[in-house]
Each structure stands twice: as C-alpha cells, then as structure tokens.
Structure 1
Amino acid sequence: MLRTAEREAQSLIFMEDICHAYRMGEQCLSILDNISLTIRHGESCAILGSSGSGKSTLLNILGLLDRPTSGRFLLNGRDMANATPDECAGIRNRLIGFVFQNFNLLPRLSALDNVALPLRYRGYSRNQSRQFAHRQIELVGLADRLTHRPADLSGGQRQRVAIARALAGEPALILADEPTGNLDADTAQEIMGLLLELNRTQAVTLVMVTHDATLAKQLDRRLHVQSGRIIEALPTGKGRGD
C-alpha cells in the first residue's frame, strides 16, 4: 500500500486498472483492458501501436477528452473520477498542452495571435497575451515569422507555432498526437529535437503518439499498446533516461 501511495505522490500521471469500452447495440467493445501506468514529472514517453489498438483512446483519456469506463486516474495528484466537465476544461487549460499532426492553426490569424489565443481564454489582456506569445515563438526559433499566417509557413514552421501555442499556458504535460506525421524525415527530426529540448530545459512531461519507431527510441520510455493492453519496451540505451 505504501508503494502505491509513493507512486501516486511522485507521478504526474497515475493510472490503475483503467478499462474503456463502447456499447454498440447489444455488443460491448473493449478498447482498453486493465491498463496500469505511471509517468513521472519530466519524463518523455512514446506510445506506439497499430490502428485500432487503443492508443488514441488512451491519449484522449490522458487529455481529459474522454473518461475511462472503470479504474483510477490521477492527474497531478487529482483524482479525475468525479471531475465535472467544467473542471476538466479548466485543468486542460492550465495543465496540458496539445500538439496535433495537422497543426490545427487558425488560418486567418498570424503566428503570434495563434499562440496568444489560449491566453486570451485565460483572461489575459491582448497585450499581455501577445507579449507572452512572443517569448514562446522566440523559444521555438520563429522570431522572424511573428506576423506570418499559416499559409505562408512551411510544415515544420507551422508545427513550431503549434508547439509554441502548446507551451503558452506553461503546461506540466504536452500530449503530442503524431506531431511529425505530415513532415519529411529531416523536418520530423528537427521537431523531435525541439520537443526533447523543451522536455529537458522546461521540465515539461512529454507523451507522444507515433508510428515512427526511430523517433520513439529517442524518448525515455516506449509503450506499445496491443489489443487494449500496454507492453513497455526494455531500454535500449538510446533514450535520454536510459
């Protein structure tokens, strides 16, 4: 019992016996099957798996976009079982930054305003939001692209803007869903390097869904989701924490 309490206290993410199922007519389709997972503050973790394995469902639960059918899920020490939708939205806004494969930038806004937008939702003034967004864009190496709209940026530059937006709220956790999926190999490695550098220097926990085993090996841990269960790969010596 003490060991479990210690893991809970040291973890940003603590999952115990998580199950998730959908009902279709008279059938109950199991997506996640008794998953237990602990991710500490500052770790980097890859989630791999084939389509339909349950990895997207797992990411949605981690991002408070879906709820497990059963089991315990603690996020930064908070038991999420009884959190209301409004409470989940508030926690997402404060604690989690999302990076998506398709960037999800607003086409009519500049890079600066795309990054500043989440801060406006927090109640910051336009000037405060833009000042903070400016610093985040500098951090990802795009200080000379502040006024450019997404259509005027390369794929790699758009993803850098998306990462800056994810960092705008100073999250403890970045959830990246195939962040290099639409990029060529060289640009993908650039983005991977940036995410790992932010993980090291900002102490932000990084959880990334990817199909690229080569990129996954650069993270501390590799979790394979197979038929709703997690199998963790043994360290290979290539990850930062190995």
Structure 2
Amino acid sequence: MNDVKSLLEEFADRAVAGLPPADVDADVVRGRRALRRIRARRRVTGVLCIAAASAAVLVVGNQAKWWDKGEAEVATDSPDADAQTGQTPTAAASSAPSDDTMSLYSGSALALVANGQAWSTIDCKLAPEGWTPETPVTADRVVLTPPSVRTSDTDAKLELSAADESQSLTAVRAIGSGATVVHVGQASGRQVGQIKLGERWLVVKLPVDVQQWTDDVVARFLESCTVS
C-alpha cells in the first residue's frame, strides 16, 4: 500500500514539475473558484429544501385543521345525537328534582292549631288543622277525621285513647326528655305514639299515610294533651 502511495506521489511531482509555474497557480485559483461555486450551490440547495419542507408542513397542518373542524361540526349538528341518548339535554335536566321541589316535600309537615273544643276526658290544646272529632265521642276514645275524607276511610283517621298501661311497640324512637318523653313505634302495622300523663297513658294511632306526621308534630300534639 505504501509503495502505491509513493508511486502516485512521484507521478504527481513529475506532472507538476513539467508544468510552468504560472499554470500551477492558475489551476489553484480555478480550483478555489470551483470550490466556492460548489459551496454556494449547496447553500442555495439547503435553503430551497428548508423552504419546501416548511411549505409542506403548513399545507398538512391546514388540512388537518380543516378535517378536525369538519368532523366537529358533523358531530355537533348530527340529528341522531339526541336520538341515540334517548333524551334531549333539556329533558334530562327537567327530569331531575330541583332543590325547591325537595324542600316543598320535606317541609310539608302537618299544621297544629289551637283547639278550643274539649273532648270528654281527653283534652288537647293543639289539634291538626281542619280535623274534626267523630261522633259520638266516648270517655276514653276520640277519633279525628281529616278534611275531605270519607267517614268510612278508617286508614286516614287518627285515634286517641287513654289507657292504664302502655302499648307494646317495635322500632321505638324516644322524643324529648324527662317526664314528657314521647315514644313512637309500630303496633299492628300502624305507627303509634304514646306518652304518660299522670297515672295514665295517652296513645295515638296515626293514619296509614304518616308523611305529614313527623316525630316533632306527634310529640307537640301529645304534649299539649291532658287525661282526666
């Protein structure tokens, strides 16, 4: 390999030695000019390549945005979108109960008003508004009927009775404290409240629909009563 290199260098020296000095200098100048032209062409080519690549990116980007926008519009304006969900957004919002509606139902407790009518041995200072005693009234039993209810509808009536012994209740809840504790529980499938007044017990059998008869209403009603 070294021998080949030496031979090439020797041939090159002979070729250069055989040329006039001016020719060698002229070749060097021409070679430098050619090298500068090649470099200039490379720079121009690089600038053109960068410009072409930038233009391609912009074109592709704009197309992608156009397609995305088109798909979004189609998805938004599709007439089948609401049909697939089964309801419109307005219908879904209206189906959920509002806070005002929930407050209305939760706050629909029965109103107790002053009672100016004595009921035999059972006398209560408060009574459910609009409820009237059923006649005849016995000594230890009073039946109250709500307004706009048939007299034969016993499930809607309230029964007050005085007894010497308390009733046996299940699922008992104690309301109040001290000597005026009201016990509310279940007996024979009905909700019952009872309180001890003196030596006797006052027992109230509530209507089947007890939504309005909250524990607080039952306690206030019984605590306003006396048994003679």
Please report the TM-score for the alignment, with normalisation by the length of structure 2. Answer: 0.24
Identify the structure with the greater helix proportion.
2
Higher relative contact order (CA 8 A, sep 6+): 1
Which one has a bigger Cα radius of gyration? 2
